[in-house]
Amino acid sequence: MNAPLPLNITRSTAAQAYDDVARVSNEVAGKLAQRLAAETTGEVLFSPADRGRYATDASIYQQMPVGVFVPRTAADVKTALDICRDLQVPLVPRGGGTSQCGQTVGAGLVMDHSKYMRKVLQLDTEARTAEVEPGIVLDHLNASLKKHGLWYPVDVSTSAQATLGGMAGNNSCGSRSIAYGNMVHNVIGASAWRSDGTLLELGRYDTASGAARELGDYVKTLADQLRPELEAHWPKVLRRVAGYNLDIFHNQNEKPYTADGSVNLAHLLVGSEGTLALTKSLKLQLSELPRTKVLGVVNFPTFYKAMDSAQHIAKLGDGALTAVELVDRTMIELSLQNPAFAPTVRTALIGQPDAILLVEFSGASKAELTPKIKQLVDLMGELGLPGSVVEMIDDAPQKNLWEVRKAGLNIMMSLKGDGKPVSFIEDCAVPLEHLAEYTDALTQVFRKYGSKGTWYAHASVGTLHVRPILDMRRDGGQKMRAIAEEASALVRHYKGAYSGEHGDGLCRGEWVQWQFGPKIMEAFAQIKTFMDPINLLCPQRIIDAPKMDDARLMRFPPHYKVIPIQTALDWSAWNVQNDPVTELTSAPGTGGDPAQGFAKAVEMCNNNGHCRKFDAGTMCPSYRVTRDEKHLTRGRANTLRMALSGQLEGMNAQDAFTSEVVHEAMDLCVGCKGCKRDCPTGVDMAKMKVEFLHHYKARHGHTLKDKLVARLPDYAPWAARLAPLLNLRDRIPGLALLSEKLMGLSARRTLPQWKSSHFFNTPRRSASREQVLVATRPVVLFVDTFNGYLESDNASAALKVLQAAGYTVHVATKAVADGKALCCGRTYLATGMVDEARTKAKELLDALLPFAEKGIAIVGLEPSCLLTLRDEMLAMGLGAAAETVSGQAMLLEEFLAREASAGKLKALKDQLKPMAEPLLLHGHCHQKAFGAVTPIMEVLKMIPGAKPELIESSCCGMAGSFGYEAGHYDVSMQMAELSLLPAVRQQPGAVVVADGTSCRHQIHDGAQREAIHVAALLARQLG
Ligand SMILES: Cc1cc2nc3c(=O)[nH]c(=O)nc-3n(C[C@H](O)[C@H](O)[C@H](O)COP(=O)(O)OP(=O)(O)OC[C@H]3O[C@@H](n4cnc5c(N)ncnc54)[C@H](O)[C@@H]3O)c2cc1C
Ligand code: SF4
Ligand code: SF4
């Protein structure tokens, strides 16, 4: 049990793999790891932390796999299958791991297809078909199809993370299933291995031969024998995803699986959740991209009326109706409380509706579709609701509203405390004529068990999502069972499908027999045996499934405990409990977390996988370049959770938290705060990294490089004096290499240059404390270390701009002078020195409080410094003073944008000379996290002729000192190359604005271009 952690298993260490793994796990695991390492080219991840990171998905379950395998090629997949068969180790294939029912949680070898198995193998634009590997993500496929006017239309909410293999596994369904159907309606072929290693080519039954034909004949015989059973027990709805698709031979679905009535054997695999075969590739039927869409948002006075109206709206069909989606009152309220969503939601509301339905029509032109909206308006008039429809014809407002709807579940999941909305009956599908009665009855059931549910999603097909709030650490399991029993009785009463979208997994497997009866269940078991007689593939799913409330399978079982920690930062806001009905939370600090709220903050990650995204936004740069679960926000949260709860095997709980294993997972986190903004449940890994480093460094000590970085604000005055000497590092050959050896600073980087003459030792014309306190247009300028010592032209420029705008500017200095400049403590936080950062912050507060108390704006230039005042400083136990100062702290561009909108910047605008060059803006991550990108765009637009263009970039990769470190150089450059550097190179004549010191340095190093601070550009335009 004492093998060194983490285990590093590669081809070259394959011989050692058996010993290493067998010691921490068991003999079979050792053999498995050894053979995978020796016989494949894939990644072999068997350390306790790796296994912990793959022990969960977006469900309530957790099971520790034997190991994890990340294949690079189809040959690797086949070899791994053969090895698992030889050693009798179950195999659990996985894509993005976003299943909600525990489909990817299993005790065998978890095989992650998402990293490498993601090629489009073939595209036929004429026939509109594509053949893809199973690990390709839907959004990535659709991005590649867009230029051909095509798309794959099963538009699941998780389109940015769901893989086609996973979607096929679950028979996933999108918001527009009323028009396009589910996965089963859009897959036309599959190539897949049975557990005996036979490769099946599955397509049309009538032309099948060999093993595929045998399978078809076998299932057809079963289906023929059971025809009366199918007619009697099979739900007659579009959304039924439970069990196996035995009905391919005698269709029971509202929408036949094929247009021509033929039987396609690939459909047997769709929805089989990896239990029948291992998918090698899928052949997909593509659709023409809808040219245009219109949206009618119907506002309802009662939820019941909305549900009752859905059946009538669905009849407006005739192909143009592509979605009818519900957003209920709770969701509307939550969205209105979210600053990012509120303005969008308001555009959809008439008064205070109890629910809204988003009714979408798609077609060739707006002109063709506008009459459809008219029909909707007329229908609502007939149903007694005249004037209830908001007509959205333009694309932009529609797109914004769909984003809010897609974020629905995640908005709900942001509830703090141990009670969480739990997914177990969230996709029951009932015929539309019963929707109102069904939802009403289920709401009563929730009430009976002291809970409530928020309803949303696919009203068009009778699949409404709802999650009652349950506390799984206490009585949640019992309540879950009781509610499930009553919900299932309702589903049966209304002849619906118990599992209508999210599949069976661990959660609904026990309900498969309940749904279909013993004879069909027996047929399912026979199909499983025919395909996988040795029960190698995802055992105990669909067949022989466990009880849904088996506490041994839970992520948060009643015995779940975390270690006590004395935290450095204040996490009390997470240390709360909630009321499942009112959703009100108790006072901060009362939640009973022995880790003072830190553990509960970590546990906010519900594994939904939203951080695996590559689209606009920042989260998560380290995943974007590595595609490793370990370097993903979710992977980090899981690693921390495993450590804090003593689940990292081979370590005692106290040591685990400050171990190298956790350090390794946190290492590539650049602290960009992308997750703080983009993670739907608000997982703030940047802040967690500070907390972690505080404890880790307390145990392991600070390195020379840590001290050099952290203490920069302290030694800056004398470093400036020694500038000619210190700058030699980048001039004398060999010194850079020496600095890499001694201090870990990359020799491939230049370092910022010190200057003997800088802002702080240059005489300037600015107001005193006393003058600014009585001025009519006062502002306080907080000049940080970087802009004061290293790029002091920016500080001078800011002073010039503010004065040109007519402000009385005071440059903040320490209340008690000691020859040093004020500092926010950022460099100390970055190295986990929270106590030293607190001392700096305290000095800053003492200096700034008198101005903040008078409501005077405190303006800063470096986003990571200034925004510390609005973020970490509030978590350092500095009381009301920190709140007051935080309330007045703003970036220069935020201040100027505010003043401009109040009509106070006419004088400045009149002085700005026009500019003709193209203008590019790279937003600093913290600017993005705090919504400061819009203000800077507004400010840049004040320059006559300026047409600023925002670079859609994630983190620049420099992130303070991160990119300077030798061990991070490559990853840092890869982050920059994702989009920032290519965008800069593409416009050689453009002025590039970047407010972050490190961003400018990265642009200099990577594109050999000099980016400038917004203050410098404005000052330049003043002439
Ligand atoms: C916030 C949220 C919103 C969601 N919204 C929707 C929605 O709108 N519609 C919807 O249908 N679902 C939705 N889901 C559920 C889930 O996202 C989808 O089912 C998704 O398609 C799963 O894709 P994945 O790549 O994460 O698959 P995974 O969860 O990794 O795997 C899914 C299944 O496929 C199997 N599998 C994966 N690869 C293979 C392979 N190569 N061979 C054989 N079997 C394989 C797995 O074993 C597993 O059984 C949502 C989930 C969340 C968390
Ligand atoms: S970190 Fe946030 S976005 Fe990522 S899986 Fe967890 S909850 Fe989802
Ligand atoms: S702070 Fe940035 S790098 Fe770190 S986990 Fe969050 S998004 Fe990823």
| 412 pLDDT more than 80 | no
Contacts of 5 (CB under 8 A, 6+ apart): 24, 47, 48, 49, 648, 650, 651, 659, 660, 661
Mean pLDDT, the chain, rounded, equals 94
User: Given this model, what pLDDT does residue 975 score?
Assistant: 96
User: Given this model, what pLDDT does residue 583 score?
Assistant: 83
CA–CA separation, 937 vs 949, rounded Å?
8
Percent of the chain with pLDDT over 70: 99
Could you tell me if 177 and 157 are in contact, meaning their C-beta atoms sit under 8 angstroms apart?
Answer: no
Residue 231: C-alpha distances to residues 224, 252, 253 (Å): 11, 7, 11
Q: What pLDDT band is residue 648 in, cutting at 50, 70 and 90? A: very high
| 461 pLDDT more than 50 | yes
| 326 pLDDT more than 80 | yes
Ligand 2 closest atom vs CA 413: 7
Could you tell me if 483 and 443 are in contact, meaning their C-beta atoms sit under 8 angstroms apart?
Answer: no
**Rounded average pLDDT over 782-790:** 97
Sign of the four-CA dihedral 829, 833, 835, 836? negative
State pLDDT tens for residues 667-710: 999 999 999 988 888 899 999 999 999 999 999 999 999 999 99
| 530 pLDDT more than 70 | yes
Closest Cα to atom 8 of ligand 3: 620
**Rounded average pLDDT over 266-291:** 97
| 305 pLDDT more than 90 | yes
Burial class (CB in 10 A: 0-12, 13-18, 19+), 319: exposed
**Rounded average pLDDT over 346-372:** 94
User: Given this model, what pLDDT does residue 2 score?
Assistant: 40
State pLDDT tens for residues 431-457: 999 999 999 999 999 999 999 888 888
Ligand 2 binding pocket mutation candidate from 683, 685, 687, 689 (most atoms within 8 A of CB):
683
Residues having CB closer than 6 A to ligand 3 are: 618-622, 633, 636, 669-675, 685-686
| DSSP per residue, 918-979 | -EEEE--HHHHHTT-HHHHHHHHTTSTT--EEE---S--S-TTTGGGBGGGHHHHHHHHHHT
- Please tell me if the CB atom of residue 618 comes closer than 6 angstroms to any atom of ligand 2: no
| 5 pLDDT more than 60 | no
For residue 637, which of 60, 93, 49 has the smallest C-alpha distance?
49
| 203 pLDDT more than 90 | yes
| 779 pLDDT more than 90 | yes
Q: What pLDDT band is residue 6 in, cutting at 50, 70 and 90? A: low
State pLDDT tens for residues 722-763: 999 888 888 888 888 988 888 889 999 989 899 999 999 999
User: Given this model, what pLDDT does residue 874 score?
Assistant: 97
**Rounded average pLDDT over 224-229:** 97
The Å distance, Cα 688 to ligand 3 centre, comes to 10
State pLDDT tens for residues 592-624: 999 999 999 999 999 999 999 998 778 999 999
Ligand 3 binding pocket mutation candidate from 622, 638, 829 (most atoms within 8 A of CB):
622
- Location of structure tokens 């606009």: 616
User: Given this model, what pLDDT does residue 3 score?
Assistant: 43
For residue 246, which of 270, 223, 216 has the smallest C-alpha distance?
223
User: Given this model, what pLDDT does residue 654 score?
Assistant: 84
- Please tell me if the CB atom of residue 56 comes closer than 6 angstroms to any atom of ligand 2: no
Closest Cα to atom 4 of ligand 3: 669
**Rounded average pLDDT over 653-678:** 94
Give φ, ψ of 714 to 5 degrees.
-80, -40
Closest ligand to C-alpha of residue 968 is 3
| DSSP per residue, 643-711 | HHTT-STTS-HHHHHTSHHHHHHHHT-----HHHHH-TT---HHHHHHHHHHHHHHHH---HHHHHHHT
State pLDDT tens for residues 160-181: 999 999 999 999 999 899 999 9
Closest Cα to atom 6 of ligand 3: 675
- State how beta strands 278-285 and 187-193 pair: antiparallel
User: Given this model, what pLDDT does residue 15 score?
Assistant: 81
Which residue stretches of 226-281 are H helix?
A: 227-233
User: What amino acid occupies position 504?
Assistant: D
Percent of the chain with pLDDT over 90: 85
- State how beta strands 355-363 and 469-470 pair: unpaired
Could you tell me if 36 and 69 are in contact, meaning their C-beta atoms sit under 8 angstroms apart?
Answer: yes
Give φ, ψ of 1015 to 5 degrees.
-60, -40
CA–CA separation, 157 vs 1022, rounded Å?
48
CA–CA separation, 573 vs 444, rounded Å?
32
Ligand 1 closest atom vs CA 505: 49
Ligand 2 closest atom vs CA 620: 4
Ligand 1 binding pocket mutation candidate from 131, 156, 186, 424 (most atoms within 8 A of CB):
156
**Rounded average pLDDT over 153-158:** 94
The Å distance, Cα 681 to ligand 2 centre, comes to 7
Q: What pLDDT band is residue 819 in, cutting at 50, 70 and 90? A: confident
Q: What pLDDT band is residue 16 in, cutting at 50, 70 and 90? A: confident
- State how beta strands 778-782 and 808-811 pair: parallel
Give φ, ψ of 429 to 5 degrees.
-115, 130
The helix/strand/coil state of 154 is: coil
Residue 252: C-alpha distances to residues 223, 249, 491, 495, 991 (Å): 12, 9, 17, 13, 62
Could you tell me how many residues make up the chain? Answer: 1023
User: What amino acid occupies position 754?
Assistant: W
* Segment holding 143, helix H or strand E: helix 138-145
Give φ, ψ of 291 to 5 degrees.
-70, -40
CA–CA separation, 760 vs 775, rounded Å?
23
CA–CA separation, 994 vs 1010, rounded Å?
10
State pLDDT tens for residues 20-41: 787 777 889 999 999 999 999 9
* Beta carbons within 10 angstroms of residue 342's beta carbon: 12
Most confident among 12-26, 144-158, 316-330 (mean pLDDT): 144-158
Contacts of 462 (CB under 8 A, 6+ apart): 237, 239, 310, 429, 430, 431, 432, 434, 435, 496, 500
| 789 pLDDT more than 50 | yes
Q: What pLDDT band is residue 458 in, cutting at 50, 70 and 90? A: confident
CA–CA separation, 319 vs 292, rounded Å?
14
Could you tell me if 782 and 870 are in contact, meaning their C-beta atoms sit under 8 angstroms apart?
Answer: no
Of 164-178, 324-338, 515-529, 788-802, the least confident: 324-338
* Segment holding 129, helix H or strand E: strand 129-132
- State how beta strands 129-132 and 120-124 pair: antiparallel
User: Given this model, what pLDDT does residue 571 score?
Assistant: 98
User: Given this model, what pLDDT does residue 413 score?
Assistant: 79
- Please tell me if the CB atom of residue 634 comes closer than 6 angstroms to any atom of ligand 2: yes
The helix/strand/coil state of 240 is: coil
Could you tell me if 322 and 362 are in contact, meaning their C-beta atoms sit under 8 angstroms apart?
Answer: yes
| 4 pLDDT more than 60 | no
Ligand 2 binding pocket mutation candidate from 608, 620, 632, 636 (most atoms within 8 A of CB):
608
CA–CA separation, 816 vs 302, rounded Å?
63
**Rounded average pLDDT over 250-278:** 96
- Which tokens go with 291? 């040219």
**Rounded average pLDDT over 287-291:** 93
The Å distance, Cα 619 to ligand 2 centre, comes to 10
User: Given this model, what pLDDT does residue 1 score?
Assistant: 38
Closest Cα to atom 32 of ligand 1: 166
- Degrees to nearest 5, angle at CA 607 with 605 and 610: 95
State pLDDT tens for residues 861-897: 999 999 999 999 999 999 999 999 999 999 999 999 9
Q: Euclidean distance between the first and final Cα of the chain, in Å? A: 70
Contacts of 428 (CB under 8 A, 6+ apart): 438, 463, 487, 490, 491, 496, 497, 498, 499, 500
- Degrees to nearest 5, angle at CA 56 with 54 and 57: 105
| 721 pLDDT more than 80 | yes
> Which residues lie across from 551 on neighbouring strands?
none
